[in-house]
A and B are shown apart, each in its own frame.
Chain A
Amino acid sequence: MLILTTPTIEGKKIDEYLGLVTGDSLLGANMYKDMFSGVRDVVGGRTSKYEEELTNARKLALQSMQEKAEKKGANAIIGTRVAYHNLGGTMGNTIMVTVSGTAVIFQE
């Protein structure tokens, strides 16, 4: 499955537009984890935990979008946008990763 952020596939003809497909995933970054990452920063570590989890969240979102597109019979998703949102709160906060794109069938 070809997933692109561009609105067109250069040199390829798009046969059919199948419509919008989306995917999302939540990444709980709760207060306690937050505190730990703060502590790790203090003692000289790195906040790579967040980055790893972000990557995982993004992959999950993309995967669910891809599954939806496959169900529609698409062979590519174009115009994909990946967005990261912060859902706040006093007790902790959650990162939401959303992806959306257009499922299409193009001539390979």
Chain B
Amino acid sequence: MVAYRKNFIIEKRWAIVAILTGVFLGFGSALICVAWHLVIFGFNIMYIVSPLLAGFAETFISRREYGKSTGAISALLTFIIINGYGWFAPGWIFPKEPVTLSLITIIAIILTLQAAFPTLINYILFVVGVGIFRKFIESLIFLPSRIRGRTLEVEGKKEDKKPSADEIFLDELTVPILSVPRLEEGKTEKYVGLVAGEAVAKEKETEGRVSKLTKIIEPTLLNDFYLGEARKKAIFQMMDEAKSIGANTVIDVLIDYVSMGGLQGSVLIVTATGTAVIVEDEASNFYENSSKKVPESQLNNKNASKADISTNNKENDVSRVIGKTSGDRESISGMNKKINVSSIINRIRISGQIIGKEVVDSSATVIGKVKDAELNLDNNEIEEIIVGKGSAFENLGLSKEKINVPFDTVEQIGDRILIKKISTDIDSNDYYSYIESKIRNIKI
């Protein structure tokens, strides 16, 4: 037992030396500070200098001789000794310098403790502190709505019965992507390689900018994530990659969700991995297997698949055949169109590029930011862009004014979107109503 303790001391001797040196230096510097009255802003600098010096010396020695840091024990000891002296010891040698609990003292204490116990203090600072801060901000934000006796909108409306967006997109593909490792009966012509796609599931943006701030520190719900969006993005990134290396479908697809933690709420990564392959025929094969008929459809399909820019006629044929062969797919045959992979990707890309951009008219009046774009599904063209006015009220979630701008008024798309000003002598409010009336005319 004694031998063990001896060994322990020998092993730790440099750590002890480091701590003692640190305490000595810290206390010495504190004495000097007091003796010379090194006071800044009515506050003796020893409360900051001494623990720092002690901690620095200790770390330096222990790193060098002991091999690892001992934590800033000496800084803590110095701090306690100084304050103990200031508070309790009678001021024989030096004038007493009692610590008053000022902001600087608190910061010094936190700094010292942080150096000594980094993990614990960081936890307290970032989890407990942020939590308290959040409650505070929350109460501030909900105060006005409480006064007005109205709650902010919390729950999004869930009215859609149709399949979610990515399912529709997957149905629109001429070649289905599969999660099984192999197609039946040797239809795989060529393996191209592994493809993958990643996307970060963003949290849903709330209407107001202030509530966006609370979102950062609020616990997240599954509803708060654009999970479907992210999955779609991951899948399309994967398919984009597959297409770029010449494949026409992806098999053995695995979709995975990984949490990334994070201090301001969690972030989800959605990943999709699969094997890009070239299959010998397109869509009809898969449906043909289930119902063995329509030999002429294959011909049409082959034509459709060979010509990348297939005409509407043929695509319609394909969809009609598919609609016929699989009765349960009414939703697709109802839509009566088939779009190839690249056009879907383009669509997502286009709307992704436009959304969020500022809309400016030719007289440099800022109209607002693009909220959304209406796409014509037949020819993949943007019909109109929906512009929010972007006023301060809207940012606070109080007003929801939107303007639909027909796409043919758009002159140029760069960092901003420039639209034509139709008449120069109408002021901006009239301008909105002018555009709105124009849209109404179009719709009628």
Q: Which residues of A contact B (CB under 8 A)?
A: 2-11, 29, 31, 34-35, 37-38, 41-42, 44, 46-48, 50-51, 54-55, 58, 62, 80-86, 88, 90-91, 93, 95
Contact = CB atoms under 8 A, between A and B. Distances in A.
A4 B193 contact: yes
Contact of B191 (A4, A42, A81, A95): A4
A16 to B, nearest CB: 18
Contacts of B194: 3-5, 62, 80, 82
A93 B198 contact: no
Contacts of B259: 86
Contact of B181 (A6, A82, A95): A6
B216 A42 contact: yes
A27 to B, nearest CB: 10
A94 B179 CA distance: 29
The 9 closest A-B pairs by CB, nearest first: A3-B194, A54-B198, A6-B181, A84-B258, A5-B252, A38-B264, A5-B275, A82-B273, A93-B261
Contacts of B260: 29, 50, 86, 93, 95
B198 A90 contact: no
Contacts of A86: 258-261
Contacts of A2: 191, 193
Given A4-B194, A90-B119, A47 B263 contact: no
Contacts of B186: 10-11
B273 A88 contact: no
Interface string B186-222: 1010010110101110110000010011001000000
Contact of A90 (B123, B193, B264, B369): B123
Interface in B289-332: none
Contacts, number: 106
24 contacts: A4-B191, A4-B275, A5-B194, A5-B252, A6-B181, A6-B251, A9-B191, A10-B188, A10-B191, A29-B260, A34-B264, A41-B202, A42-B213, A46-B202, A48-B200, A50-B260, A54-B198, A54-B271, A55-B196, A90-B123, A90-B126, A95-B258, A95-B260, A95-B269
Given A4-B193, A93-B261, 14 more contacts: A4-B191, A4-B252, A6-B191, A8-B181, A8-B182, A9-B191, A10-B186, A10-B188, A37-B267, A38-B262, A51-B198, A51-B199, A54-B198, A83-B256
B267 A47 contact: yes
Contacts of B369: 44
B356 interface: yes
Nearest to B197: A55
B200 A6 contact: no
B254 interface: yes
B205 to A, nearest CB: 8
Nearest to A29: B260
Contacts of A55: 196, 198
B181 A84 contact: no
Nearest to B183: A10
Interface string B220-253: 0000000000000000000000000000000110
Contacts of B182: 6, 8, 10
